[in-house]
Structure 1
């Protein structure tokens, strides 16, 4: 079957756009072909800095003929309806239509439309120009007097179609004065002459001969293998960087790996700063000395040329730029160490964190107070936590972080170590940002944990306090990531924290600060609440949570944590409905305890006892709901023991009381396995009750008492979870 080859040859396509453009070309063309009935066997897209290409294999030579019956109006229908039918079917008169009979609807007109399939090249000539003119580049430009917008000036279009062994034809079309052909061009400098090609294998072979590696993945493999070999030859190791490899593969068509060097004096700079400097400015790879574990004063650059001098001039040019950039980096590093971290702290007073949440200095103070509060809960030394919280953001105003923001935290650690601060404090300066993504590690040192939790919780509470919560896919302040960070820190370190109790006072502190910013508003608030009211009192609604009252916004934030926890547990294979069932109970703000309860509940429901009890529970609740709706009132326990007539209901009532007591005792001791064992003992009495007892007895008093007994089943299970929320 014939194959299609398309190549769009242009000036350099930005590396960051190449992969997306290749995917878009493949999808747009193949979707359009399938939409027109041209099914294919396979397709692959190619991209280099100067060309975007697509090969589609196994296309038919023409579209299949189409025969379609179009049903029209009834015989005798108004002239307007008949005229519309004739127009839509492409008929000139009713003589060209058929009449069909329907036993129910009578006679009606039918048009048989037969449409011959077009040759595939003709369809391609229609598809490709439209795709080129509307191609979804993130940014595009128009040049000359034409109307075409393309990422960079488009020079030529190659489009061939034909079966293997045959001479392929050129699919003829024109876009903004550019006429399609079977001609492409090789490397800009090494082989710029035009090349006539036939199909994919011919195209790739001739481009390779013209110093162009068309396959992006192959270019990446060449760069990586040559870089490793060159490093090994010098007794060094390549510091691999997948992101940089993707980028440089999009900058060259004929990759040539060369090695350069810089002065050893720059090795006094932290490795991460050297790497960031060389990567950001020259897109070069750095090398590591396996004997020391530190960077070597060597780098690898990827040239797009086979130079006559072996690349000496190219290497020298890169060395000059890197030397200058490393000189800047060394100046920044030395200046920061000379100034120290403390010099930056007063500057935070004049830097706004958020217009509604005050300055960075105010935020650092909130983090300090919260971290000190959390410290005993995570077995951290409060004095070290306080010092770490005060200095954890100081590196944001250093020269190095100003130049390389991605090094924030890490540079804080280096500067803290250089100033002789405790190792726990230095580690917290780096680790309080972690985890920054699902694959990032969580801090495990107590001081780091306390500051990391304080930082993330303050962020969440602050934006909840000003009603800047995530909506849909929008999360400009990365609040979902912050919540997931808290969850992972808590769970992976086995921490016991009551989030509602921690966040509610923080809401109040932020409210006080916001009121204090406006003296008039603050005074009006005091006057409203009375002279005896606390200066920072708030009228924000409070709600009961366990044994204490908390801000309702804290409850809403806890629901957000529950949603994030469901996502986290679902990725680990847990059931989201069980998380809902546990969170539905009052006072569930201890994430570790919630997870333990969910895990125990999942194990229980996987047993025969668990499944049978769940079925009995649903039967009881369904009966209750029906009867409560019928009577217009709820039936809630306790039951009247004198009205327990049948042995089965007496045994069930006794079992419920026993199980409720055992479950409560086990839950209090956080022994959820024992709680589930106790709950399993309800299975037999519940089954026996439904087999032997008629709930809707003719005696109203017995009926009401038995309905209350069903409610007692629900009450007994509520010691574990809200079984109403359990699915399946």
Structure 2
């Protein structure tokens, strides 16, 4: 057997959960890679492969043997290893036994510090035959399987029953026993096109031989085939399919041999809001809705079959029969819902709890309405529209369509509001209240919609913090982190000058006596500050820059953003490093001084040329800097401070701050205090 060969591991199973397939395969590969590296077995590359009924790992040019290792084991000092008669002591004999040698076989290690017994040996490396079973078991054990299952009379547990196990090094099977299986070279072919087993002749031919059995085991190749077929079909039908990577991954995980086909449905269903039709096609049936170039739904859908049928029309007909009842349900629910206005559904919200301690959805809607009106007044929006949208914001949750298709809440609210004759601004706000739903998602467009979205998020944040249920670790059942990031994005990107604390206080006042956390406003504010780091790090801003601003605790997201932009620009200046260091030195000196405030600088006490020069420079620069800061022109103000660098350097090089004369010392502290107030106005640049 050669020292290096390509290696393939495959575990054949029943159909694996499609949404978990990719993650399982990547985790399996990661586990294998860790095992190989820990064992110091060399290889060129490692890749994962996955299909609905198998997980596989392919290793290129894997080393079969570990290298031999030279080991040294130091024993007791020679002085304590033998007694006066030269006989070995118990300590020496015990060490020799542990090394597997006679005491006479020990060598000596001698250096400046003394002399010790020493045993040198060469430990032969293990082969893959000896190591592989441990690798496989360890890699399978660390897979993210929340609920393993048992099958038959077997004690083995896995995410699905297992049927085949391949561990091939080149053309040789390396014996392994795991999950009740003994390794071999047999894999499973396509469930319909190749019902028997597939004999794999060599690790190199694994993918090709499975392809002959109608299994594209390479996930990326299978997905590429699906995308190519979809593109061809869309071109032929003058249609487009909206990108949906999650759905594409799920469909790729459902088929072994993808064949793309097109089905149709009656045009009458297009009278139903297309979002409801799209939802049921994608979520329930895993179909790809086909749209025209303007984004309007066509009466067609694209689906991926797992068989290459000689009668594709029969496959298409079967899928059309499946989708029609779904679309008919959506049509029926929609027509039924339109008979009842959103406003008349308000009373039904009294029967639905938002949270046990915080009351019903009706109460939440009333709070959102009040807070949305308050926010609208702050941002020059229509208060009545904002209040109306806030009041109706949760009513579509009580409609038949949303109860059936929960992911289109808000969207259906817009359609029903327009049907009821509500103002278009109100209708749009009902849809946009949930935006942004994820990182990079669109934001509400109108100020009224922004007011409702902010009110909803603040109500949830303040309410949940107000009863002491803070997010912990990865547990965030009310998605408070996402809500906070959404608030930050809306305020910054829509340029809304709003105060976090003021909105938190207003939101808290609307809960009456429901809240039990007296510190809720500060807790929400601190939580919001903490979310800035996550938001800006996603945009490539360094932690030091973010924290420099965070220390100032701005209560406005827009103000935080302006300060941060100023610090980013300041950090680019050649003087920034020296000024940051100087600011840190100023802070350190002042922190050791017991004075909490400083008097004005007394020019009559200035004696050193460097301190006179610094004070004059401060007087020259300060007015312009402070005017810039007061006008919110933080970049301009910080940049102007760069003019102080030379005088600051000379001051610290030539002036003793802690002079023996108390008056002179206090005056020099006043100079540093003046410097600190200038530097700290925008951010604490000492952390840069």
The TM-score, its normalising length taken from structure 2, stands at: 0.91
Runs of 4+ in 1 over 6 A off after TM superposition: none
Other-structure match for 2:265 = 262
1:386 aligns with 2:387: yes
- Offset at residue 338 of structure 1 (A): 1.2
Where in structure 1 are there 5+ consecutive unaligned residues?
Answer: 163-167, 516-538, 541-551
Figure out how many residues of one structure are paired with residues of the other and give that number: 678
1:100 aligns with 2:91: no
Work out the CA distance in 1 between the residues paired with 2:649 and 2:511: 54
Q: How does 1:489-638 map to 2 (within 5 A)?
A: 489-513=490-514, 540=518, 553-585=520-552, 588-608=554-574, 610-625=576-591, 628=593, 636-638=598-600
Work out the CA distance in 1 between the residues paired with 2:406 and 2:640: 56
Other-structure match for 2:168 = 160
Work out the CA distance in 2 between the residues paired with 1:232 and 1:694: 79
Q: Is the 8 A contact 1:122 1:171 kept in 2?
A: no
Q: Comparing 135-144 with 77-86, which one deviates more in the overlay?
A: 77-86
Other-structure match for 2:157 = 149
Q: Comparing 429-438 with 78-87, which one deviates more in the overlay?
A: 78-87
- Offset at residue 641 of structure 1 (A): 4.3
**Any idea what SS the aligned residue of 1:160 has?**
strand
Q: Is the 8 A contact 1:161 1:169 kept in 2?
A: yes
Q: Is the 8 A contact 1:129 1:173 kept in 2?
A: no
**Any idea what SS the aligned residue of 2:510 has?**
helix
**Any idea what SS the aligned residue of 2:67 has?**
coil
**Any idea what SS the aligned residue of 1:71 has?**
strand
Work out the CA distance in 1 between the residues paired with 2:141 and 2:591: 62
Work out the CA distance in 1 between the residues paired with 2:157 and 2:183: 17
**Any idea what SS the aligned residue of 1:237 has?**
coil
Work out the CA distance in 2 between the residues paired with 1:616 and 1:240: 52
- Offset at residue 445 of structure 1 (A): 0.9
Work out the CA distance in 2 between the residues paired with 1:698 and 1:201: 83
Q: Is the 8 A contact 2:40 2:66 kept in 1?
A: yes
Other-structure match for 2:84 = none
- Offset at residue 465 of structure 1 (A): 1.5
Work out the CA distance in 2 between the residues paired with 1:135 and 1:362: 44
Work out the CA distance in 2 between the residues paired with 1:718 and 1:495: 25
1:250 aligns with 2:253: yes
1:120 aligns with 2:87: no
1:670 aligns with 2:636: no
Q: How does 1:21-60 map to 2 (within 5 A)?
A: 21-60=24-63
Structure 2 CA distance for partners of 1:249 and 1:720, relative to 1, 3 Å: closer
Work out the CA distance in 1 between the residues paired with 2:510 and 2:89: 77
Q: Comparing 444-453 with 135-144, which one deviates more in the overlay?
A: 135-144
Provide Cα deviations, 1:376-402, integer angstroms capped at 9, x if missing partner. 222211111111111121111111111
Work out the CA distance in 1 between the residues paired with 2:53 and 2:433: 44
- Offset at residue 579 of structure 1 (A): 4.1
Q: Is the 8 A contact 2:377 2:383 kept in 1?
A: yes
Work out the CA distance in 2 between the residues paired with 1:597 and 1:32: 48
Work out the CA distance in 2 between the residues paired with 1:492 and 1:136: 38
Work out the CA distance in 1 between the residues paired with 2:315 and 2:290: 19
Work out the CA distance in 2 between the residues paired with 1:634 and 1:367: 43
Structure 2 CA distance for partners of 1:511 and 1:625, relative to 1, 3 Å: same
1:727 aligns with 2:687: yes
Q: Is the 8 A contact 2:547 2:687 kept in 1?
A: no
Provide Cα deviations, 1:176-205, integer angstroms capped at 9, x if missing partner. 553222222321221223332222442222
Work out the CA distance in 1 between the residues paired with 2:305 and 2:51: 14
Q: Is the 8 A contact 1:213 1:254 kept in 2?
A: yes
Q: Is the 8 A contact 1:66 1:116 kept in 2?
A: yes
Work out the CA distance in 2 between the residues paired with 1:153 and 1:556: 49
Q: Is the 8 A contact 1:562 1:579 kept in 2?
A: no
Other-structure match for 1:165 = none
1:306 aligned to which of 305, 308, 315: 308
Structure 2 CA distance for partners of 1:208 and 1:101, relative to 1, 3 Å: same
Structure 2 CA distance for partners of 1:82 and 1:222, relative to 1, 3 Å: same
Provide Cα deviations, 1:17-37, integer angstroms capped at 9, x if missing partner. 211221122222232222222
Other-structure match for 1:85 = 95
Structure 2 CA distance for partners of 1:576 and 1:21, relative to 1, 3 Å: closer
Q: Is the 8 A contact 2:31 2:142 kept in 1?
A: no
Work out the CA distance in 2 between the residues paired with 1:278 and 1:321: 10
Work out the CA distance in 2 between the residues paired with 1:184 and 1:664: 75
Work out the CA distance in 1 between the residues paired with 2:524 and 2:573: 34
Structure 2 CA distance for partners of 1:7 and 1:702, relative to 1, 3 Å: closer
**Any idea what SS the aligned residue of 1:675 has?**
helix
- Offset at residue 577 of structure 1 (A): 3.6
Structure 2 CA distance for partners of 1:575 and 1:197, relative to 1, 3 Å: closer
Other-structure match for 2:147 = 139
Q: Is the 8 A contact 2:10 2:165 kept in 1?
A: yes
Other-structure match for 1:110 = 118
Provide Cα deviations, 1:233-263, integer angstroms capped at 9, x if missing partner. 3443334432222112212211222222222
- Offset at residue 142 of structure 1 (A): 1.7
Q: Is the 8 A contact 2:579 2:645 kept in 1?
A: yes
Q: Is the 8 A contact 1:637 1:711 kept in 2?
A: no
Other-structure match for 1:285 = 288
Work out the CA distance in 2 between the residues paired with 1:718 and 1:173: 66
Provide Cα deviations, 1:386-430, integer angstroms capped at 9, x if missing partner. 111111211111111111111111111111122221111111001
Structure 2 CA distance for partners of 1:306 and 1:600, relative to 1, 3 Å: closer
Q: Is the 8 A contact 2:6 2:204 kept in 1?
A: no
1:443 aligns with 2:444: yes
**Any idea what SS the aligned residue of 1:339 has?**
coil
Q: Comparing 293-302 with 426-435, which one deviates more in the overlay?
A: 293-302
**Any idea what SS the aligned residue of 1:695 has?**
coil
Where in structure 2 are there 5+ consecutive unaligned residues?
Answer: 82-87
CA root-mean-square deviation: 2.8
Q: How does 1:419-498 map to 2 (within 5 A)?
A: 419-498=420-499
- Offset at residue 314 of structure 1 (A): 2.8
Work out the CA distance in 2 between the residues paired with 1:202 and 1:118: 27
Other-structure match for 2:11 = 8
Q: Is the 8 A contact 1:637 1:709 kept in 2?
A: no
Provide Cα deviations, 1:536-582, integer angstroms capped at 9, x if missing partner. xxx94xxxxxxxxxxx5323322222222233233334344444444
Work out the CA distance in 1 between the residues paired with 2:137 and 2:514: 61
- Offset at residue 320 of structure 1 (A): 2.0
**Any idea what SS the aligned residue of 2:511 has?**
helix
Q: How does 1:301-340 map to 2 (within 5 A)?
A: 301-308=303-310, 310-340=311-341
**Any idea what SS the aligned residue of 1:142 has?**
coil
Other-structure match for 2:363 = 362
Q: Is the 8 A contact 2:168 2:203 kept in 1?
A: no
The TM-score, its normalising length taken from structure 1, stands at: 0.86
Structure 2 CA distance for partners of 1:388 and 1:87, relative to 1, 3 Å: farther
Q: Is the 8 A contact 1:160 1:198 kept in 2?
A: no
**Any idea what SS the aligned residue of 1:59 has?**
strand
Provide Cα deviations, 1:104-142, integer angstroms capped at 9, x if missing partner. 2x3322222322223333432553356457755333222
1:204 aligns with 2:207: yes
**Any idea what SS the aligned residue of 1:380 has?**
coil
Provide Cα deviations, 1:64-97, integer angstroms capped at 9, x if missing partner. 12221112223335966446534543x1532343
Other-structure match for 1:520 = none
Q: Comparing 181-190 with 93-102, which one deviates more in the overlay?
A: 93-102
Q: Comparing 400-409 with 663-672, which one deviates more in the overlay?
A: 663-672
Work out the CA distance in 2 between the residues paired with 1:88 and 1:36: 24
